[in-house]
Structure 1
Amino acid sequence: MITGIHHIAIICSNYEVSKHFYTEKLGFKVIREVYRKERDSYKLDLEINGLYQIELFSFPNPPARTSRPEAAGLRHIAFGVDDLDAMIHKLNQQNITSEPIRIDEFTGKRFTFIADPDDLPIEFYEK
């Protein structure tokens, strides 16, 4: 039976830019980084508070994908935060602009979105 989310896989268009974004700007910890010669591809495993993992992949010339939160397909990734205002402040210090804060009409909780270097929507949802 399913016990939780194991990882989120992201294919990026510029590996070094995305690696910097997720590790330096958002502060994820590198678990391992490997280069797969047969695929001409890097695979970077990232840790979030020791609980979840992002697999960041590079592939030569990946096709573009529609990537807005309201597009068909995988909608977005979301991370819980204790203090949304503090998270937005940290993002602003990194020159990352967030959308205006929204309120979840069912829970009353606040959330916002940013975009990663490939315009992948990332949500921060206040606990």
Structure 2
Amino acid sequence: MKLNRLHHIAIICSDYEVSKRFYTEVLGLEIAAETYREERQSYKLDLAVGGLYQIELFSFPDPPPRVDGPEARGLRHLAFAVENVEEAVRQLAAHGVAAEDIRLDPLTGKQVTFFRDPDGLPLELYEQ
């Protein structure tokens, strides 16, 4: 098997409008498509990330909570590459989103920080 690239990342949110606003207005992702699926009582929002990747944001009626420990088994976090971590943190703060202190990745020497989406999903900003 040869995997060519990452195709998409799917996220289920608890409040569609809040998460839609967060990913589009706060993070600045572009809406590629928005679909309401009546049979599932669910929205599917396709968000473009850098012209190569896509985040699929889903809403479902009463989705169960997920374990929220940073060292719990499963997906640890979703990381976004940015040119300037300090500037990105200032932009998050302007929208009322708190980020952890910026630190250096001990392996690469690059600046990184973590913050959370409206449902507590851990997100990372990683200096390109």
TM-score range normalised by the length of the shorter chain: over 0.9
Unmatched tracts of structure 2, length 5 or more = none
* Cα drift, residue 65 of structure 1: 0.6
Residues 1-127 of structure 1 mapped to structure 2, 5 A cutoff: 1-127=2-128
- The aligned length equals 127
* Cα drift, residue 50 of structure 1: 1.4
One-letter amino acid matched to 1:33: E
**Alpha-carbon distance in 2 for matches of 1:112, 1:10:** 20
One-letter amino acid matched to 1:90: Q
SS of residue in 2 equivalent to 1:75: coil
Deviation string, structure 1 residues 15-65 (Cα, Å, up to 9, x no partner): 000000000111000000001111000000000121110000000000001
SS of residue in 2 equivalent to 1:19: helix
TM-score by length of 1: 0.96
* Cα drift, residue 91 of structure 1: 0.6
SS of residue in 2 equivalent to 1:5: coil
1:68–1:120 CA contact under 8 A, matched in 2: no
TM-score by length of 2: 0.96
Q: What is the Cα-based RMSD across aligned positions, in Å?
A: 0.9
Unmatched tracts of structure 1, length 5 or more = none
* Cα drift, residue 108 of structure 1: 1.0
SS of residue in 2 equivalent to 1:65: coil
Moved more, 99-108 or 76-85: 99-108
Identity of aligned residues (%): 57
